[in-house]
Structure 1
């Protein structure tokens, strides 16, 4: 890719849309897994340009959104302790816990810092040997390798005042859980290209075969998404269910072996709770026994916390694709980006945030700020 504009060309988008319209003959429901794809779809009005037969269901692919409330509360408890410097990406600071967020902890005297890389947090630990420095390690397969590398470096350099609060999740088990849900309406998936650039596509064929759903790996620009939809619809109309890589410029079938080796060394697969969804077997990582001393949960013994989700927040249903954000009674009223009830309204990849930002306040509302492709 030379220029982003190449993948926002309105003429090419029109051709892809014409092909999709000519192909579809019956209703189909597709789920885009990644929150970045959701924002691109809403921003560019892609869902409104598609034929009426096609419904895009927004999946749980926002790492901030699916971080369970219990882990948020653990982060708050650790960050509030004297002698702790708590480091995080900025999008986690406003995610509500049971009774406050990291901004509130900072306003109350906690040393909470925004960093742009886990290695930044490691440097903070080097510069402050008298403090305990904790990095909030969240995300899917995309952010796990740099977090693993940072723990590896801490051990190699003998930095003992650094630890990682881990809440990493894996996409394939989430797809499995979605397909096993009795309320599932998903008939095909647009898989997240950045995840597959790390992990490859090896885990997807068995999912496609077992549940008889097409899985098409796509990128994040409008033409990427439209091409992914075009390939998906062709499979659905033909009764096929294979894995198709529509993002070959970034994704190799085997992924990134070096990143996978780092993950295998530092992390081990574990069951993981997803906010609003529940525990999904084998869907997360935790630090392996070799690196357990760098586990913030182990180091600070945070457990037995009482968590409390707002009763009026339906973000769990949004994350499962059961409702659209505007179908939640709190959306845009008691829940806004300034006063969020759930993480889906806070995160830069959250579906609720996308609907609010681009003025999708009702089922038939045309976005005031969204620009059609191009």
Structure 2
């Protein structure tokens, strides 16, 4: 494990943190948004926040795919699972995310709906092959990282002429969400730690227009602690110099153009939705994907005539504000009391990439020590 150890080396981390302390301007504050939930957990898990000067703050963004899915889409999936003789397949993180009326996929399964947790899109395809007499729906979610596997299983299902497999598509796109955050100005940020896995697909140049338009420095960062600290240093240098460009710290995995084969597959299977609702951000234009007409036979929304569902989050939950970067999880009155990972009231407490889950697992202990 030498390769990983190099990116978790304490001496290197302290050296980079020391450079940050030397290079920050004492008369200004630096608010840096980590756009990926994986970065949020790395920052807390490895104590990165404790290595930073007091005037360097990390702001959490809408980079958790489970968290940004609105409750209405989950409620629609629950209604489908309970009203039709289908097998609904989805990832484990989504099972306990609250839907309307304090419901969830987990609770619907307890009531008798055939809802199954899977580890990959191909698992859903295998279930469809093993149950030819049943309709199988894959509840697909995620940013550009998990979109190519969904596209692949749709193409495979088409080649196999499967008639019992469809996808409830909820894939969303990172650059439009980033542009919305910057356009609103609500979060008041000075730089962005760009997402890692997403960038392996779409490439570093996918953020160029956004950074230029909003004059925002962005550094694509890896997930390891040395990655995050080095990327923070690069952001601070950009801010101090008054420049705004896309830098790629995660060069071992991210290229300028990204994964061209994956992008071509996504373009073959999907097209832009005119509008899509995000939890916390509202309806954003051209920010999500729908299955193209060519593959409409594998679109669950069309096959089952799924109607849009409007519902509300649980009263008192500030997850939408956390996703916009305007509130911290510990500012929520529900946090750590009635809302815990075992009994989540908001989506941000459920996912392994959720900011509230990161605060609960690591941040609340830090608060107790420093208070």
Q: Could you tell me the TM-score, scaled by structure 2's length?
A: 0.96
Alignment of 1:63-212 (within 5 A): 63-99=65-101, 100-212=103-215
Alignment of 1:14-93 (within 5 A): 14-25=14-25, 26-93=28-95
Change (3 A) 1:184 1:365: same
- The answer to whether the 8 Å contact 1:77/1:302 transfers is no
Post-superposition CA distance 1:223-278 (Å, at most 9, x none):
01011101000000010101100000000111000000000000111222111220
C-alpha distance in 2 between matches for 1:366 and 1:256: 44
Q: Could you tell me the TM-score, scaled by structure 1's length?
A: 0.95
- The answer to whether the 8 Å contact 1:125/1:131 transfers is yes
C-alpha distance in 2 between matches for 1:198 and 1:71: 25
- 1:324 and 2:342 equivalent? no
Change (3 A) 1:2 1:143: farther
- The answer to whether the 8 Å contact 1:326/1:361 transfers is no
Change (3 A) 1:49 1:212: same
- The answer to whether the 8 Å contact 1:193/1:219 transfers is yes
Post-superposition CA distance 1:186-209 (Å, at most 9, x none):
111110111111111222111111
Change (3 A) 1:72 1:243: same
C-alpha distance in 2 between matches for 1:64 and 1:12: 33
Name 1:5's counterpart in structure 2: 5
C-alpha distance in 2 between matches for 1:306 and 1:189: 32
C-alpha distance in 2 between matches for 1:107 and 1:357: 27
Post-superposition CA distance 1:61-108 (Å, at most 9, x none):
000000111111111112223420111111111111103111111111
Change (3 A) 1:169 1:366: farther
Name 1:224's counterpart in structure 2: 227
Name 2:347's counterpart in structure 1: 343
1:259 maps to which of 218, 242, 262: 262
Change (3 A) 1:194 1:304: closer
C-alpha distance in 2 between matches for 1:253 and 1:75: 37
Query: Unaligned regions of 5+ residues in structure 1, if any?
Result: 368-374
How many Å apart are 1:359 and its aligned residue?
Answer: 4.4
How many Å apart are 1:366 and its aligned residue?
Answer: 4.0
RMSD: 1.6
Query: Unaligned regions of 5+ residues in structure 2, if any?
Result: none
- The answer to whether the 8 Å contact 2:141/2:169 transfers is yes
C-alpha distance in 2 between matches for 1:300 and 1:255: 35
1:285 maps to which of 283, 286, 289: 289
C-alpha distance in 1 between matches for 2:181 and 2:320: 12
- 3-state DSSP class of the match of 2:336? coil
Post-superposition CA distance 1:20-63 (Å, at most 9, x none):
11111021111000001100101111112100111100111000
Post-superposition CA distance 1:144-186 (Å, at most 9, x none):
0000111111011101110111111111111100011142311
